[in-house]
Structure 1
Amino acid sequence: MQDHDIETDVLIVGGGPAGMMCGITAAQFWPSRHVTLIRPEEEAVVPCGIPYIFGTLGGTDEDLAGRAPFLAAGGQILTGRIASADRNARTALLEDGRRIAWNRLVIATGSTPFVPPIEGRDLQGVFEIHKDYDYLDTLLSETLPGVKRLAILGGGFIGVEFADELRKRGIEVHLIEQRPHLLGASFDLDACVAVEQRLTALGVRIHTGATVEAITAGTDPKRVGGIRLNDGGTLAAEAVLIAIGTRPNTTLAGDMGLTLSRSGGVWVDGFQQSREDPHVFAVGDCAHKQDFFTRHANHALLASQAAAEGRIAGMNLYGLKLPRSNAGSISVYASQIDELAFGVAGLTEASAENIGFEVFTGDIRMPDHHPATMPGTHELHCRLVFDANSERLIGGQVIGGPTTAEILNILAVAIQLRATATDLASFQFGSHPRLTAPVHPIVAATGEALRRRLEKP
């Protein structure tokens, strides 16, 4: 390779969870290879921590993503933007004119906020959430100070978490969702209702079954003053957050001629390789996802899934390793509002039945510590969903306290290992009064599921 400003074995475009994890893994698995990661920002934020910048953390600097593990493994980080990439020449041109020669290319360009064509979306005071340090710092220091009433469009995870964090700033928050319930695409009804009740108790105003027809100006024709709903009602607001979702950022991949799936992501195989070129990989939000159970397109864009894909690509860059391939997205969600934690791994009861699975379920409610008088005890509600034909675990929903996330992670492992109800009913676990429930909730819920199944006529 000649006449290039920079030469590298592996070039990773994007420094989010997928790109960074790919870089760390590549440096560990292929220590003789030079790994370079390029990203547009000097400082990168932790995506999942963004809502907490505006409340719990109180500052953008408190949500910076670490670079030490990648640098310690021998990786190099460049700041810049890729203008174009040539698959035949295996080169990338930066916007500043520098040229990078590469042997393997990993596209980890993430996603961008989806902004529907709502009238008034360009008014001052209307914003989305971008994973950019300077943008977020400006929101925190310039846009939000002085705002007394704010409307959030979208009652998914982003909207719910921002509603909880922004109300901590003393802002009157109105959360608007067109579905009948918040988080309706991710949870069964009881979890949706529990989150709505907690947010309402905290002072968040919830408007479900409502669609925004327009964002309207106030006395200043250039600034937002409110929103108009589909029922003709209006709501005054000094700021509007559009949190309807994100879309894969595939501009670079499209310009390179890579196949894009109908769902919008770069088409990749089980090793995260692109269809056209085994030397080009795609990971994270910009890559196509397939559901673990059905192989249908999966539209959940999660940092945890992105990091897993980064590890898979990093391990397979210079030789495919069959056990280290992508078996599909399980979709493990978890969040917390006040002291109420909630999450799901795999399919909910409703989503499994909508797909067409015949299922049986088990529910259990119990204290998450023992005895129940132990300080910090929360009620835990665990629901497990099993396929009726194979008895395999295909999903679980948990509502409770701080132990919720680890229970979900155990469920995710069990799903990946194709564990059955019989396996889970007798699995061995550790127990401690201050750390765990008296009986593991997975065991208890599985036992209830089997009892129901045996009693069913």
Structure 2
Amino acid sequence: MTNKKIIVIGGSATGPKAAAKARRMDEFAEITMFQKGPDLSMASCGFPYYVGGFFDDRNKLLCTPTGVVRDPKFYWNAKGIVARVNTEVTRIDRENKKVEFTNLETGETGSQEYDKLIIATGASPNMPPIPGVDLQGISTLQSMQDADYLRKVRDDGHIKKAVVIGGGLIGIETLEALHLAGIELTLVELLPQLLTFLDWKMAKLVENYLKTKANVITKNGVAEFVGENGKLTAVKLQNGTEIPCQLAVVAIGVRPNVKLAQDAGLKIGELGGIVTNEYMQTNDPDIYAAGDCCEVKNIISGKNVLAPYGDLANLQGRVIGENVIAGDIAKFPGTIQTGICKFFDYAVGITGLSEEKAKEAGFNYERVLNASPDKPGFMDGKLLITKLVVEHKTRRILGAQCLGPGDVSKQLAIWATAIKGNLTVDDMVNADLPYAPPFSLAIDHSIATAHIMENKLRGIFKGISSVDLKEKADRGDDMFILDARGADEYEQMRLGIGETLIPIGKLRERLHELPEDKNKEIITFCKISLRGYEAAVLLEAHGYTNVKILEGGIMAWPFDREK
């Protein structure tokens, strides 16, 4: 019996994971990995943190946990895998089951046969088709070479002004990295909001925070890169504004690298990625594909999506590594598109469907907003704002968004697990989570969010979003807005839409100050709307019939506030 021949195209995340898993499954398989660039198994999600100076040793992006650089020598000695760097696979010959390749340093060409082929060609950064795009000083942050260039910019300290184009995850992480270098920054986003995977209000809260660190421009794209002597001097926007700068980092998304697969006759989906089944097989049963070059099913909506995330690439690579050796025994069920990023003292992320995506998918849903600390105040608890989306009929959790200076990652991990486990609100209201003051409140933020949702589904909690309240105020609707905070809080900050201050501790004795018409609409709120909820319950007990609570309170108000 001859040894199985396995070829992997791509050496970033999926490829090395698949190759390593295949080796653990079969000691005698002949495994070869081709990598177009000079580096292997790069921790590309760590690029912004290397640029930002969170660590200085470049090799940490290429190392094993024990500090050994994953180069071709490492792969051969530790894993018995032949890794050919600076070598591009130029053609897949499916009929003869071989690949053709070219060494980009020597020009040497060759071919190699396979029994099973793994395509992990990743994705390339989008670049705007506008004048000046080839000027010196324009970069992306997609490769180790990009990271090296931007780290040199940071270390040299010569650049004083920069523009980041694109308000997605990479753009915002890059903004932080360059801010740490003392560079004056402008973030430009063509769309009306940053982080388009979030609902507008949550994205607006992120934007408000980022404006304390940099100039943020939305609803305006780049029309031209302006330069002198081949070097960037300014970015010209579509409205004619010119922003002087010596550096522009383009982060407007990526596109799957599928030409090799397409030329070989493999099926490409409507979104531009390679189509695979649950075993990560293409339409050729001997060819598998995974990572950023592929489309993947969203488990909740059932629709294909592009999900270029490093964790998914590794999970898919592991599935392929099993299947190319043992037959199709491992499955990748799809994604719920969990993502998170850090920016300065905040974090923001999502798991599952946003409200907008739930609407697009045709779900009859309910949503709530919870603003509350992650830990007790005496343990320096920090604010979290969570938006939860739940299917009405089944009460199944569809999605959660979370942001703030508190422990966002813990909240997203809880909700991601709940979604994957098909849990309902009823499962979460009494969830048995670990509690001690250094880690959480006695009722964890996630459980409190479930409590609010339960109350809303029962009709006990009647909420109103900040967007709806702002629209009502702008129209001049006849309503009474009750601020249940203390006078000191009111003096420091207020909504500025005609609210009346009646602290919750004084409300019972000041009921005579409320409208005589008990059917008139009353909106209650406080800092996070816990006192607002208590005020609403009190008012309903006294016969008021049209009371709503501002969800998230003043801390989740995305519009300008009076100070």
CA distance in 2, matches of 1:27, 1:435: 40
Q: Which moved more, 1:330-339 or 1:43-52?
A: 43-52
1:188 equivalent in alignment to 2:199: yes
1:329 equivalent in alignment to 2:326: no
CA distance in 2, matches of 1:108, 1:179: 31
Are the equivalent residues in 2 in contact too, given 1:271–1:320 (CA < 8 A)?
no
Task: After TM superposition, give the deviation of residue 108 of structure 1 in Å.
Answer: 0.4
Aligned to 1:410, the other structure's residue is in SS state helix
Instruction: Structure 2 unaligned segments of length 5 or more: list them.
Output: 103-107, 463-563
CA distance in 1, matches of 2:5, 2:429: 49
Task: After TM superposition, give the deviation of residue 182 of structure 1 in Å.
Answer: 1.4
1:159 equivalent in alignment to 2:147: no
1:87 equivalent in alignment to 2:94: yes
Query: Deviations 1:371-420 (Å, cap 9, x if unpaired)?
Result: 32114x21122222111122211101112346311321232222122112
Q: What is aligned with 2:180?
A: 168
Name which of 289, 296, 300 aligns with 1:282. Answer: 289
Structure with larger RCO (C-alpha < 8 A, sep 6+): 1
Provide the identity percentage. Answer: 25
CA distance in 1, matches of 2:423, 2:430: 11
Q: What is aligned with 2:35?
A: 39
Q: What is aligned with 1:268?
A: 276
Query: Deviations 1:179-198 (Å, cap 9, x if unpaired)?
Result: 22211x11123332232222
Q: Which moved more, 1:53-62 or 1:280-289?
A: 53-62
Are the equivalent residues in 1 in contact too, given 2:48–2:147 (CA < 8 A)?
no
1:303 equivalent in alignment to 2:342: no
Query: Deviations 1:53-93 (Å, cap 9, x if unpaired)?
Result: 22133546154233569944554433222222222222222
Query: Deviations 1:298-355 (Å, cap 9, x if unpaired)?
Result: 1331112222221222222245556x42222211110111121111001112321233
Are the equivalent residues in 1 in contact too, given 2:188–2:221 (CA < 8 A)?
yes
TM-score, with normalisation over the residues of structure 1? 0.90
CA distance in 2, matches of 1:364, 1:303: 29
CA distance in 2, matches of 1:18, 1:156: 23
1:179 equivalent in alignment to 2:191: yes
Aligned pair count? 444
Q: For residue 392 of structure 2, what is the amino acid of its counterpart?
A: A
Cα 1:207–1:102 change in 2 (3 A) is same
RMSD, matched Cα: 2.5
| Aligned counterparts, 1:23-422, within 5 A | 23-44=19-40, 45-57=42-54, 59=56, 61=58, 63-66=60-63, 71=75, 72=78, 74-79=80-85, 80-95=87-102, 96-131=108-143, 133-141=144-152, 145-183=157-195, 185-202=196-213, 204-217=214-227, 220-275=228-283, 277-320=284-327, 324-369=330-375, 371-375=376-380, 377-401=381-405, 403-422=407-426
Cα 1:402–1:13 change in 2 (3 A) is farther
Cα 1:138–1:340 change in 2 (3 A) is closer
CA distance in 2, matches of 1:54, 1:198: 22
Query: Deviations 1:416-436 (Å, cap 9, x if unpaired)?
Result: 221122222232221122122
Task: After TM superposition, give the deviation of residue 114 of structure 1 in Å.
Answer: 0.7
Aligned to 1:444, the other structure's residue is in SS state helix
CA distance in 2, matches of 1:388, 1:28: 46
Task: After TM superposition, give the deviation of residue 359 of structure 1 in Å.
Answer: 0.8
Aligned to 2:431, the other structure's residue is in SS state coil
Cα 1:391–1:35 change in 2 (3 A) is farther
CA distance in 2, matches of 1:37, 1:126: 31
Task: After TM superposition, give the deviation of residue 48 of structure 1 in Å.
Answer: 0.8
Aligned to 1:150, the other structure's residue is in SS state strand
Aligned to 2:377, the other structure's residue is in SS state coil
CA distance in 1, matches of 2:26, 2:426: 41
Are the equivalent residues in 2 in contact too, given 1:112–1:246 (CA < 8 A)?
yes
Are the equivalent residues in 1 in contact too, given 2:199–2:354 (CA < 8 A)?
yes
CA distance in 1, matches of 2:373, 2:269: 45
CA distance in 2, matches of 1:215, 1:251: 29
Are the equivalent residues in 1 in contact too, given 2:384–2:406 (CA < 8 A)?
no
Instruction: Structure 1 unaligned segments of length 5 or more: list them.
Output: none
CA distance in 2, matches of 1:98, 1:106: 18
Aligned to 1:382, the other structure's residue is in SS state strand
CA distance in 2, matches of 1:140, 1:421: 46
Task: After TM superposition, give the deviation of residue 282 of structure 1 in Å.
Answer: 0.4
